[in-house]
Amino acid sequence: MTTVVIRQLGLQPYLPVLEAMRRYTDQRDADSPDEIWLLQHEAVFTQGQAGKAEHLLAPGDIPVVQVERGGQVTYHGPGQLVVYLLLDLRRLKLGVRELVSLMEEVVVAVVAEYGVHAYAKPDAPGVYVDGDKIASLGLRVRRGCSFHGLALNVAMDLSPFDRINPCGYAGLKMTQLSALADAAASPVTLAQVADQVREYLTVKLGYNASLLRNQLDL
C-alpha cells in the first residue's frame, strides 16, 4: 500500500481548498498516494449537488458555494473540524456506503472518548446525539476516487445553522462536542480531536504509522 499524506492545514478559506481537492482528484493516477486533510474553514454555507434553494433561509453575509458533493446545505466555520478524504476507493477495495459507515464509526468512537454517546442513522447520513446532529457527511467519487468528507462540530458558533435547514431538515438542531463532553474527560480542543480522528481513520483504512507522511501545505 502506498504512503498516505496527512495535511494539517489550519484555518482556510473554502474555495481554494475546494479547487485543490478537485485538482488533486483530477490529476491523480494509480500510483498517487491517498491524502487526508484536516482543517477548519472560514464561515461558508455549502450546497450539495441536489441542494434545494428553500433550505437556505437567510444566509445574509455568509457566502454560499455550490459544490458537487452529495447532500443538501450545511455550514462550515471556525471551531469545526473538517476532514477531507482523497482516497482511491478501488485500491482500498471500499465502496461508497462502506466509506460513509467508516466515517460515522470514527466520529462515534472519537466522541465516546469524551463520554458522549453518539450514533448513526441508516436513513440520514451523519452522526447524532439525542436526536441532534454533531457531524455531517458529504462525498463525491470521481474515477473511483473520493473527495469531500466530514465535518465534526467541536467548539464553534452554532448560530449560523439557524439560517438554514441543516442537511435539508427543517427544525434539525445541531450540537457540538464542547457542549456535551463529560467534564471529567479530557478537555476538548480541536487539535486533540483532529489527532484522534486522524488516528482512528488511518487505522480503519488499514494504514500503519510507517505509511503516514505529515505535510502542512497544499
> Is 167 a known active-site residue?
yes
Q: Are 56 and 164 in contact (CB under 8 A)?
A: yes
- Beta strand spans in the chain (E): 4-12, 34-41, 44-47, 64-66, 73-76, 80-88, 119-121, 124-129, 132-142, 145-153, 212-215
Alpha helices in 28-123 (DSSP H): 89-92, 96-112
Report d(CA 162, CA 174) in Å as an integer: 9
Report d(CA 198, CA 182) in Å as an integer: 22
Strand order in the sheet with 73-76: 64-66, 44-47, 73-76
For the chain, give me the number of helices (H) and strands (E)? 5, 11
State the catalytic residue, choosing from 129, 167, 177, 180: 167
Phi, psi of 52 (to 5 degrees): -105, 135
Helix (H) or strand (E) holding 15: helix 14-27
Give the active site residues. 167
